[in-house]
Structure 1
Amino acid sequence: MPGFLVVKQDVHITKYFCITFSYPDPTRDVILVEIQIYSSNARKWKKLNRYFSESSCNKPFGNGVYWNEAVYRHPSDRNILSYFDLNLEKLKELPIPSPKPPMKRYGYHSTYLYFGESRGHLHWVGTAKYGSRIYLLVYEMSRDHSCFVKYKVEIRDIPDVCPQMIRNNQFEVIDIVRGEEEDVFMVLKVKNKIIRYNILDKSCKHMTTVNNLIRIGSGEVHRYIQSLTSF
């Protein structure tokens, strides 16, 4: 029963939010999302159960992202972005902002190349073709849930990356990292190489080489942050 734990602290109260999902009835198209909340003030657990259709919501919150006092589920085929508001302790939905970022096909599902947070910024990455050129578009969501293209990276500017790699799923965006001013970079897996590509100055650094049979993507690896642990 995969899930994750979010720890939220203020001056006087610590809250633990444990979110897991399971399949209560294998004969039904239903996923149970169980949200358990512990407050140091009340000193007891509270449980919330929500049900999703498996066909419309593959592993809800399985690759959740903590941002802006909420946990967001990874956007996929659906036109709705689901999130759990930690302050109101409620599940909410909102339309995926328009224009909708293009998605990449994985088997029967379409998804984004990347969805994650860095230094208070929520990003996702899609692809777009303008004429004969293919770009990676890095979208950012504002706290009012509006969305805009923050960065646009042309594929041919990235060493060792070609359009065929995207079409053949040989290319993955592992992370978007917001650093100081000119230090904004992508961590990419290109075949068996892990590289760091600076979006602003277009510099590239080879970080390591991995076994090409090992799948490493944004859903399998995480940067360490103090308030989130996966299990």
Structure 2
Amino acid sequence: MASSSSILTSPKQKNSPSIDAVLGSDDLTTEILLRVPPKAVLGFKLVSKKWLSIISKTSFATRHTLLNPHTISALLLRVSFFFKELPTHKYVSLDVDGRSLAYFSHDFLDFDPTNNPGCICISQSCNGLLLCSKCRWHLPERFQPINYIFNPTTRQFAMLPPPPDDGQFFDSIQLVFDPSESSCYRVVCTQFFTSELKIYVFSSETKDWKLCVSQENFEYLPINFTDGVSWNDAVHWISPMGNGFSFLLDKECLETIPRPPLPENWQEQNFRYFGESGGHLYFIGVLEGNQSPDDLNKGIVSPAMSHDQIPDQSIVVYTMERGFSKWFVKYCLHVKAFVMAYPEITEDEDLAASPFSAEKGSVRLLSFIDGDNDERPLLVMEILGEIISYCFKDKTFKKILRLPFKHANCCAFNYSETLSFIG
């Protein structure tokens, strides 16, 4: 059977009446193209001028974004080595066909035609859009980065104007984009100096910054403003001890985050990850003992009982209820599962004694990926120079990528394809 592309492009092929009906109806063609994955849709621009016109419309991109679920299809890795000044970026597919890794082309982040000097790095990822920063290393103002919003699927980008600043404040920005709510994106800039907090919001609709919060004598928590997480039309910050606050964009105000039900012996070094996936907020840490979600939700913490070389520890995944009322434990993973899959962890006495140690542990959490129907809850980690994933559903490990060197600094960003328009 001839492929659909050959039927549509061959001038010698006589089309059937049904195909002619489809090709002659812009509405029907649009409805079909709206259900095609983003990258395939872009390839169909070459079929005809009519298809190019349909796909190029902003209204088409908006409808396509709303109709297609934003499933995380890949990880974007930013890898830095202590002897290299500039980081490298890698694209890691999460498809189940075994093709796990595809390297970025050398010019993947070279999207600015003005060729401003500097190196572009990925800072954040939010529902298919990337927040990228370019530092001008050789200029006097090198510490003032140029910030971009970039859609890797469509290669569209927009340069963000610098937020208002008198030079006294440390700036931290956070991308907020929820295509199920709006086709517009927003950027939240947090400025904190001594005890004064200011929060500005940039809207792609107004193309301007707006001062939303100006608060003196702000009670500063030991949190990192650069680690904000976008979820449920708000930006959230949390400390390793579970205390934090949120900036609600619709109300333009701050609210306190409920603290996860952490045990009394919880310490800062137990914290490992804070992020969003599948429409849920997650807080992940390490507890002593072989824990279970049901017991932890009842307030029962199992004591550590290990009497051998392998420590008695568990990775515990807390998730926030959508109503933002409380946290509950969703998953637990015991450290012995790692040792069974990666016995080399026990070869080093220090690592074997505490593989999840925040200072020198052999296991580093990079990301958590959850689906809408629990089909693919994945914990992504770096273990002894390898990027691996653990699936909570079938309790299996999968090797994703081996890094060239064991001692590398690796950051992971969840990524999904989108046709979302960047104005």
Q: TM-score range by the shorter chain?
A: 0.7 to 0.9
Are residues 1:126 and 2:285 paired?
yes
1:1-231 matches, within 5 Å, as: 1-7=171-177, 14=184, 16-23=186-193, 29-30=194-195, 32-38=197-203, 40=205, 45-48=209-212, 49-50=214-215, 52=218, 56-60=221-225, 62-77=226-241, 80-99=243-262, 102-105=266-269, 112-130=271-289, 131-132=305-306, 133-144=312-323, 145-158=325-338, 159-160=341-342, 162=352, 164-167=354-357, 168-179=360-371, 180-210=373-403, 211-216=405-410, 220-224=411-415
Separation in 1 of the partners of 2:207 and 2:273?
37
Separation in 2 of the partners of 1:163 and 1:175?
24
Instruction: Using the TM superposition, give the Cα deviation of residue 126 of structure 1 relative to its aligned residue in structure 2, in angstroms.
Output: 1.2
The AA in structure 2 aligned to 1:47 is L
1:140–1:149 CA contact under 8 A, matched in 2: yes
Separation in 2 of the partners of 1:3 and 1:11?
21
Residues 190/50 of structure 1: CA separation in 2 closer, same or farther (3 Å cut): farther
Residues 21/120 of structure 1: CA separation in 2 closer, same or farther (3 Å cut): same
- 3-state SS of paired residue (1:222): strand
Separation in 2 of the partners of 1:31 and 1:221?
32
1:31–1:53 CA contact under 8 A, matched in 2: no
Instruction: Return the structure number with greater strand share.
Output: 1
Residues 100/33 of structure 1: CA separation in 2 closer, same or farther (3 Å cut): farther
Instruction: Using the TM superposition, give the Cα deviation of residue 114 of structure 1 relative to its aligned residue in structure 2, in angstroms.
Output: 0.9
Instruction: Using the TM superposition, give the Cα deviation of residue 84 of structure 1 relative to its aligned residue in structure 2, in angstroms.
Output: 0.8
Say which is worse superposed, 80-89 or 148-157, in terms of deviation: 80-89
Separation in 1 of the partners of 2:222 and 2:407?
28
1:13–1:39 CA contact under 8 A, matched in 2: no
Instruction: Using the TM superposition, give the Cα deviation of residue 222 of structure 1 relative to its aligned residue in structure 2, in angstroms.
Output: 1.8
Residues 202/35 of structure 1: CA separation in 2 closer, same or farther (3 Å cut): same
Say which is worse superposed, 161-170 or 179-188, in terms of deviation: 161-170
Say which is worse superposed, 187-196 or 90-99, in terms of deviation: 90-99
Q: Looking at both structures, which has the greater relative contact order when contacts are Cα pairs under 8 Å and sequence separation is at least 6?
A: 2
The AA in structure 1 aligned to 2:331 is Y
Structure exhibiting the larger radius of gyration computed from Cα positions = 2
2:175–2:185 CA contact under 8 A, matched in 1: no
Report how many residues are paired: 209
> Which segments of 5 or more consecutive residues in structure 1 lack a partner in the other structure?
24-28, 106-110, 227-231
The AA in structure 2 aligned to 1:156 is K
